[in-house]
Structure 1
Amino acid sequence: MVGLDEAFIQAPEHRPKAHHKHSDDYILSKEIPTIDLSSLQDPHSDKTALTTEIAEACMRWGFFQVTNHGLSLDLKRRVEKTVAEFFSLPLEEKRRVKRDEVNPMGYHDGEHTKNVRDWKEIFDFFLQDSTTVPASTVPEDTELRKLTNPWPQNPSDFREVCQEYAREVEKLAFKLLELISISLGLPGDRFTGYFNDQTSFLRFNRYPPCPNPELALGVGRHTDAGVITVLAQDNVGGLQVSRRSDGQWISVKPNPDAFIINIGNCMQVWTNDKYWSAEHRVVVNTSKERFSMPFFLFPSHEVNIEPLEEFISEDNPPCYKKYNWGKFFAARNRSDYKKLQSESIQIDHFKAA
């Protein structure tokens, strides 16, 4: 285990199994749906088939890929280039914009998932440069604070390119949110009011080669806390999704020109478990670094998350109790920052009795 600190080592039951070409333990799947968004270019086209595909993907998988999404691939490559340049800087320079326990944005090389350290380094920034969040996780504490993004001086175009990309991926996220709403039989703008002061952010991940990939994970098993995630990745691969039907880990074949979309906890709660927030993880390897760029669409801090009335009936009572998004967000950030002595917060903690 040369070079692998015990903080990175997963419990035996959560370690990735070795990849063998014909092993049933590692399935490179085409099952995860790929959805073509080209019909959105025609404002008069019938979207019924498209939203039906989305509904099926959200119920069965909680994950799908989109192609012909309209986001400039040239812009995506520009941001990938400047992000790679940032991660190649000396560690002491990257740590000049290091996150801390108050501000969760910036550089971090000590991220934890379920109290095990992830084999990666990251840079996070809020979509809105000044974002309002709760000052603490205490439910009775109503104090708020405004957080700003710490930007590195190098590369010189880092901030400009990253913010341009963030604005474009936000447009794609809201376009998908509208389609998801329609796929549920709701008006396209049903969720719009939850994002007046959104806490959305974009993350850049770098997963370096790992000396013992059979013991560690780039990101441990988890579900995403927010509404939806829009993920761009390179061609290395490593993302695995837990199949809803049997829990089997399915490896997602990378397509650098597509975006991977997954349902987050908020959407699962809003739809009272109709749409699925799938557990997923990232495996690493001994030889190749991997980069990915998830955009997390998050609501405003004051929004309370609970099943929507459209999905509640006498035969289908609420599966969850109400919780405040801002407090949940603050608690999740705290558990991501360092190892805690208690379990990190999950939506299962709000399951109705």
Structure 2
Amino acid sequence: MSSTDVQQQGNTLGGSRAPPPTPSQGGNNSSATTVNNDAFSAFLEKSLGFSSLVLPESPLKTSITECDLPVIDFSSARDDLVRRITDSAAEFGCFQVINHGVSFDVAEKAEKECDGLFELALEKKEAISRSLESLFGFEDGGCDTSTSTRQESFWLEKEPSQIEDFMRNIWPEGCGNLSCALGDYSSAMEKVAGEILDHLLEGLGDWDRSSFMADIVTNNASVICISNQKGPVKPQSARLKHSYPFILTLQHQNTSDSFEVYVDRSWVRVSPQAGTLLVTLGDIMKVWSNGEYKSAVGRPTMISEQACTSMALIYSPPTESMICPIPEVLNSDKMPHYGSFSFKDYASRLRKQRLLFKDPVERYKIL
């Protein structure tokens, strides 16, 4: 079923989406917001024939709750490990992992090389700017004068030779060391990502996942995202610039004061342990599991003025994949909750979406 078919099916069943009303100028008064939403819904139903209206949560909401994410020991017995990982995926969409096998020295060396990358002159970095047409490159988050915060990031391919070729024009003297360090880091992180994925798939039922796993491990379209932040981030800063869909994201915890995760339409702040891997599940895993696992988006944050460099492996399926609930985990009691869609098309659509508050996979949901 194509994405167009799914949309048409949703419209036939009466589920319609529309943009939110223009925010009122009277502040964050919840009762006023409710009245505005009700009035806007009534107007659309009367004038445009919408039988039901789903309004996304206000993007101006700034509340952030504190949460202690599960810490999972990767050296535990297999049965216990599968249970803890799947329970955490179903409840939180994210968790922390210890004894994961990624050497601290490997992560520290990669981070040190990345620090030098961000010290380059801005005009050099902008020479390889990322755009909607180009997945890889430099992304300037700009400077927030009210908090003295500056955010920058580089999106790079995972292979050392590809990293070196890409960076040679702007950093010929440092690209070799950078590519080697990031190559070792991404290789170690990919190994853990594959093992976590295998545990998640096992938790969905008793099925032969060998060929499914082999295709992901061999042909995945994973990328490395390196971010640098100087100064504290605003709590209402909840936007995505040119994002990318994924199965899992693995973030090695080092110098960030805290980590914020967006799940169930709200931000949750966690205090990760140094040396742990923070794992967040993406939309692809949510659809594969037929909604049994939650998806989440995470970002490192700084409370102090100290600069923070973070490195994430964004573990994604092969580019030409068709995404749908895994047929083998559906039985007579389980109907698919999502239609099939192209990973490539979905990636293109998601990168054009700038707000987190609209769940991008909802357009493929079967109502």
- Category of TM-score, reference length = shorter chain: 0.7 to 0.9
Matching residue of 2:103: 72
State the alpha-carbon separation in 1 of the partners of residues 296 and 242 from structure 2. 8
Partner of 1:346: 360
What does residue range 1-353 of structure 1 map to in structure 2 within 5 Å? 13-15=58-60, 17=62, 25-30=63-68, 32-39=69-76, 46-110=77-141, 120-128=151-159, 149-151=166-168, 152-156=171-175, 157-185=177-205, 186-187=207-208, 189=210, 190-209=212-231, 213-217=234-238, 225-242=245-262, 244=264, 249-280=267-298, 285=303, 287-335=305-353, 346-353=360-367
The alpha carbon displacement at 1:103 in A equals 2.3
When the two structures are superposed, what TM-score results if normalisation uses the length of structure 1? Answer: 0.73
| Shift in alpha-carbon separation, 1:243–1:98, aligned structure 2, 3 A | closer
In 1, Cα distance between equivalents of 2:241 and 2:124: 30
- Which protein shows a greater Rg? 2
Cα offset, 1:316, TM superposition = 2.5
Q: Which runs of 5+ in 2 are unaligned?
A: 1-26, 29-57, 143-148
TM-fit CA distance, 1:344: 8.3
Root-mean-square deviation (CA), in Å? 3.3
| Deviations, residues 89-139 of structure 1 (Å, cap 9, x unaligned) | 21112223322443211211149xxxxxx96211111224799xxxxxxxx
Cα separation, 1, equivalents of 2:215 and 2:202:
16
CA separation in 1, counterparts of 2:272 and 2:173?
A: 29
CA distance in 1, matches of 2:360, 2:263: 19
The superposition leaves residues 268-305 of structure 1 with CA deviations (integer Å, 9 ceiling, x where unpaired) of: 11110011112555555462332221111111121100
Contact 2:137 2:155 in 1 (8 A): yes
Q: Counterpart amino acid of 1:28?
A: E
Equivalent residues, number: 298
Judged with a 3 Å threshold, the aligned counterparts in structure 2 of structure 1 residues 194 and 37 are, in CA distance, closer, same or farther, namely closer
TM-score scaled by length of structure 2 = 0.71
Q: Structure 1 stretches of 5 or more lacking a match?
A: 1-10, 18-24, 40-45, 112-117, 132-147
The answer as to whether partners of 1:242 and 1:249 remain within 8 angstroms in 2 is yes
Greater share of residues in helix: 2
Give distance in 2, aligned partners of 1:15 and 1:283: 19
Instruction: Give the conservation status (yes or no) of the 8 Å contact 1:99–1:105.
Output: yes
| Cα distance between partner residues in 2 of 1:14 and 1:345 | 13
Structure 2: distance between partners of 1:123 and 1:251: 24
Query: How far did residue 249 of structure 1 move?
Result: 3.2
The alpha-carbon distance between structure 1 residues 328 and 243, as it changes in their structure 2 partners (threshold 3 A), is closer
